[in-house]
Structure 1
Amino acid sequence: MATSTKNLTYRLGGQLEINRLGYGAMQLTGTGVFGEVADRENAKKVLQAAVAGGVNFIDTAEAYGPKLNETLIADALHPYQKGVVIATKGGFQRPGPNKWVPDGRPEFIRENIEGSLQRLKVDTIDLWQLHRFDPKVPVEETLAPVADAVKAGKIRYVGLSEVDVAQIERAQKVLPIVSVQNLYNLGNRQWEEVLDYTTQHNLAFIPWFPLASGPDTLAEKISKIAEKYNATTAQIALAWLLQRADNILLIPGTKSIQHLEENLKAADIELTEEEFEQLSR
């Protein structure tokens, strides 16, 4: 069922008001999300253009680069404009391009948090997310240093990534959870149950790969609707997500200022109930 897109802001944790169309910085890295981005000056301009365009929610991670993406964000945006929320993540080792190894050891998590604070040049991380549960380490142990960081004022809010409902509830026994970041888009809705759970329990839902890393794969299904709105398939895919649930926060990423501006215009598109249902089938 679609919700109205009239409210394009969301209060994270019930307090931090953020625009629901944010920016995901993962693409501002080298090949395989590893190493420095090819054109660093352009990457800085994209980040600056995002904030100038009204984005006040930027998603990054210790694992992007690794570490280099957080440094890039600070170089481009620090001192941060009032109201800008930087979300980061921890819990992945990066032995090489396209290689991701969960590491939930408390000492590694503690190191991630301290490193993120330094690289982002902040005293408090607005939203710190556990990138993945490590099957080798009980999540209670993984989250212990996170709870310590919250008590110490180093982390304001905590989120999870790529989790099911049982994992959310298990983590919530350790500390409050305000957001879930799972793979979700118009073409891949395997986490529908989790999205519904977050909606019912007032948690933010942050779809990663909101465009399925290339919405042209959905072009046949949505081309007629896109034509009606004089929009791109990407804009329709984002508009659909904004209407799917009002706790969805979008973080499409791009290395292009033109694509960034196109993505932000998706907030202006309001699909009819019939169009929404047609795309949902």
Structure 2
Amino acid sequence: MRRAALGPEQWEVSAQGLGCMRMGLARKPTDFADAADVIGHALDRGVTFLDTAQMYGDGYNESLVGRAVRGRRDEVQLCTKFGVIVHPDGTWTARGDAAFVRQSCDANLERLDVDVIDLYYLHRRDPRVPIEESVGAMADLVAAGKVRYLGLSEVTGDELRAAHAVHPITAVQSQWSLFSRGIEKVVPVCAELGVGVVPFAPRGTMKRVAVDGTGAQLPTERAAFSAGLGSLARKYDATPGQIALAWLHQRARVWNVTVVPIPGTTRADHLDENIAALDIVLDDDDLSRLDGPPASA
């Protein structure tokens, strides 16, 4: 497994990570064994950059991940997020005041059963609280030895600049794929500041791409793009998802920024498929083809 250097600190992590959200959102008897199997396989393959969050199953996912890495903690770069409160009706609000930052971190550490969190993200910015206050409280956690590096999720370029002025930001986590490129408005700021980019949902929408969530037909160019993606997959003897990951890995060269995708899976064979995408190098013509019009804003 190749390594990558995230952030101004040049923190070394695996070049591709593992999103753990789908391993447990509701309590099921098989959750822990299944999660432990996949995470153990990931570590054996060198995928050591693991991502979870308080929001996933109201902390249950963190507990699963923490148990799964017990005994192998020194191999793992453990990342989690705070700042989203899910209500009983399924709606959620963001909270980022200093008191909540401190309270959340202690709860994250307890659920993960670790002494320190490697990368701690503000999951969503609280619009009622200056981002400088949230990040200032997070910086206090670094000073206290509870957190090593700081991250932000789904922020604007201006918010990233303001946060980075308070304390160095190591990574920004946002959705980025062939089908979702809105973060490209923020990537130039990441490159300027030396902040890494950690894309979630990096494979994008690979199934039923001709129909959107309402059942309406997608624009003709989206369907044509999807057909072209399938053609490229055949050319490289790969799956469309692997081509999507390969494209995203090569964004690092295009944008001069470190990119560490975190595809999620609950199966070891899918993990192996994602790892294999690291060996696919798309030529310039094919990269140009993929830089077409299918992305959402």
Q: Same fold (TM over 0.5)?
A: yes
Q: Distance in 2 between matches of 1:96 and 1:209?
A: 26
**Which sits farther off after the overlay, 101-110 or 177-186?**
101-110
Amino acid at match of 2:48: N
Partner of 1:221 in structure 2?
228
Q: Distance in 2 between matches of 1:132 and 1:190?
A: 16
- 1:159 maps onto 2:166 in alignment: no
- After superposition, residues 1-281 of structure 1 pair within 5 angstroms as 8-13=2-7, 14-30=9-25, 35-36=26-27, 39-40=30-31, 41-96=33-88, 99-214=91-206, 217=209, 219-245=226-252, 247-281=258-292
Q: What is the number of residues matched between the two proteins? A: 271
CA contact (8 A) 1:211 1:234 kept: yes
Q: Distance in 2 between matches of 1:38 and 1:241?
A: 35
Q: Distance in 2 between matches of 1:97 and 1:240?
A: 38
CA contact (8 A) 2:79 2:119 kept: yes
Q: Distance in 1 between matches of 2:234 and 2:14?
A: 26
CA contact (8 A) 2:152 2:173 kept: yes
Q: Distance in 1 between matches of 2:237 and 2:30?
A: 31
Shift of residue 136 of structure 1?
1.6
CA contact (8 A) 1:215 1:234 kept: no
Amino acid at match of 2:159: Q
CA contact (8 A) 1:28 1:37 kept: no
Q: Distance in 1 between matches of 2:238 and 2:29?
A: 29
Secondary structure class of the residue paired with 2:186 = helix
Decide whether aligned partners of structure 1 residues 104 and 264 sit closer, same or farther in structure 2, where only a CA change above 3 A counts. Answer: same
Decide whether aligned partners of structure 1 residues 142 and 81 sit closer, same or farther in structure 2, where only a CA change above 3 A counts. Answer: closer
Any gaps of 5 or more consecutive residues in structure 1? 1-6
Decide whether aligned partners of structure 1 residues 38 and 213 sit closer, same or farther in structure 2, where only a CA change above 3 A counts. Answer: farther
Q: Which runs of 4+ in 1 moved over 6 A?
A: none
Cα deviation, 1:152-208, whole Å, max 9, x if unaligned, reads 111111010001110001112221111111121111111212112212321110112
Partner of 2:212 in structure 1?
none
Q: Let me know the Cα RMSD of the aligned residues.
A: 1.9
Amino acid at match of 1:223: G
CA contact (8 A) 2:23 2:34 kept: no
